[in-house]
A and B are shown apart, each in its own frame.
Chain A
């Protein structure tokens, strides 16, 4: 920032467009661009690698819709799973950012507020009772996740949604639902239990457009809400009193962010199972990269997508031909990086 008259906060640029003026955080834009480039590279790599290797040039041809001999392998076999992974990662990343902002707690995630365990309990229960179709199960788990989150709301609501009460009750209900899941697992058939275990880890095996479609629809429909949330999040980094004094309707925003986060996390869980560690990691990494005073929503989503795509690439290739559940590797991909970031940049961000 040049000295003198301008007092634009450090790191921001002003953009005049039409009748409006917008503040742009330069570093966030750089990070978003860099993440997009990395994500594009990861996508190409993902499509190259598999039982047979496809040259990147061919992959790009397929991606651009040009005719290619590898059309079937890339476009029909690998692409659906990739798309699901991208959407799941983005949804979890965004959900994590929303829930952490709303709860003012960097440790909050869909796991903490009941979504994952609700979805888990419902899905495992359905499996034990003989519903194993992959067309039906996602809806069961979405319903389970939403129901559990609603339960948390109802118990946590007392003249408003208090952040810490929400988290504590969420943990309580999660634990209860987790033991319910264990009960189904021990009572159920051995094979079903095995299948349920894989689902509970979170996997993209056999996932395709059938699972991606509801998720894509949800993301598309929620776009206006997400744009609102990206801006509303700024005000939530104050304490309640200061925010209220600034005219920010803390209660409504918190409810909105929580609802949005729960819906995204539920739908994503429905598609791939609880790969929820992504929701915990992605926003934290994104915020440390952008160095903003709030959790950046878009960068969290991009980071989430990147983590899931890279993790699933490894999951497919590491012990090939055995395909690991992606949930096993998301932590391995993101956690060391986050720890490194925390160690090297402990000065800003992340004391809470």
Chain B
């Protein structure tokens, strides 16, 4: 196995005087999909921003092939690490093909604005994300799902070994969420891209991650294969939520089912569909 390219050492991240992450050590497994989960404000997005040099560490460092990011020119980082922010803003009135082609930016020179290699990569990125037929449309006119695919196409055109995605499924309906995550998985398996994604949905994380990192209050609480990490105890510790963890009926990955919904006191329990369903598959409901 190849050595891990991206790591963090003693990473401390802070906004103004509020420390979000304190002295964190981390290795991103090479060629794997790593998903970071945790409650709101646990520092997962902040960590991702730091991995993509969008946030300068207060102390410690993010290392790319053993060199601190702050010592590597930004363009050079951009040829190794691609990053899609949570809500990227496209230039006004830009077409899809134009936006995707901007991913070539770190590879281009002012006298080399559209090489054959650029063209090949852009065509492939658009075909892979099924955005080729949108090429001449304005990005402003696209639906959320289409737009996200276009952004991913741009990140692909950047041809980086590592791809960082900050909540790539936010604002998408469930079908588009699955579409995007499947695309990520495919890129990882077929092209060996290392992916680090921040996800909100624990079940999606368990499904798509090779390596799961659970964070709480700026610390890593647990990490490893989802099957080892996602347990009812962990969900309670990280999210403060009572739940039952059952095997996903489709994939066999852990599936987190939250405890029974709130009910009026005194109402007979057990006749709602939700608790009934849980009762069938899990024999030990939460205490």
Binding site for B on A (CB under 8 A): 1, 5-12, 14, 18-23, 231, 235, 237-239, 241-242, 244-249, 291-294, 348-352
Contacts and interface: CB of A to CB of B under 8 A. Distances in A.
Contact of B126 (A7, A14, A20): A7
Contacts of B119: 6-8
B122 A238 contact: no
Given A8-B119, A351-B92, 11 more contacts: A7-B126, A8-B97, A9-B135, A12-B98, A20-B111, A21-B115, A22-B111, A237-B91, A239-B85, A244-B54, A291-B93
28 contacts: A7-B119, A7-B126, A8-B97, A9-B97, A9-B98, A10-B95, A19-B111, A20-B111, A21-B113, A21-B114, A22-B111, A22-B114, A23-B114, A238-B88, A239-B89, A245-B81, A246-B78, A246-B158, A247-B77, A247-B79, A248-B74, A293-B91, A293-B98, A294-B91, A348-B92, A348-B93, A349-B92, A352-B92
Contacts of A231: 110
B173 interface: no
Interface string B96-115: 01101111011001111111
B42 interface: no
B92 A246 contact: no
B123 interface: yes
Contacts of B113: 20-23
A242 B87 CA distance: 9
Interface size class of B (residues with CB under 8 A): 35 or more
A259 B124 CA distance: 40
B132 interface: yes
B82 interface: yes
Given A1-B136, A7-B97, A7-B123, A245 B91 contact: no
A352 B111 CA distance: 32
Given A242-B85, A244-B53, A293-B94, A20 B112 contact: yes
Contacts of B110: 231
Interface in B65-80: 74-79
Nearest to A24: B113
A5 B97 CA distance: 13
A247 B78 contact: yes
A238 B119 CA distance: 22
B83 A245 contact: yes
Interface of B: 49, 52-54, 74-79, 81-85, 88-95, 97-98, 100-103, 105-106, 109-115, 119, 122-123, 126, 132, 135-136, 138, 140, 158
Contacts of B158: 246
Contacts of B101: 7, 9
B98 A10 contact: yes
Contact of A348 (B75, B98, B138): B138
Contacts of B138: 348
Q: Is the interface of A mostly helix, strand, loop or mixed?
A: loop
B171 to A, nearest CB: 16
Nearest to B92: A349
Contacts of A350: 92
A19 B110 CA distance: 12
A293 B88 contact: no
B77 to A, nearest CB: 7
Contacts of A348: 92-93, 138, 140
Contact of A245 (B52, B95, B115): B52
A245 B75 contact: no
Nearest to B125: A7
Given A21-B113, A245-B84, A247-B79, A10 B135 contact: yes
Contacts of B78: 245-247
B26 to A, nearest CB: 19
B89 A242 contact: yes
Contacts of A242: 84-85, 88-89
Contacts of B94: 237, 293
Nearest to A252: B74
B95 A246 contact: no
Most buried by A among B49, B94, B100, B123: B94
Nearest to A228: B110
B154 to A, nearest CB: 8
Contacts of A293: 91-94, 98
A101 to B, nearest CB: 11
A5 B136 CA distance: 14
A296 B113 CA distance: 17
A7 B122 CA distance: 7
Nearest to A1: B136
B135 A7 contact: yes
A350 to B, nearest CB: 7
B54 A245 contact: yes
B72 to A, nearest CB: 10
A121 to B, nearest CB: 35
A164 to B, nearest CB: 14
Contacts of A238: 88-91, 102
Contacts of A245: 52, 54, 78, 81-85
A267 B6 CA distance: 49
User: Which 5 pairs show the lowest CB-CB distances between chains A and B?
Assistant: A247-B78, A237-B91, A20-B111, A9-B98, A247-B106
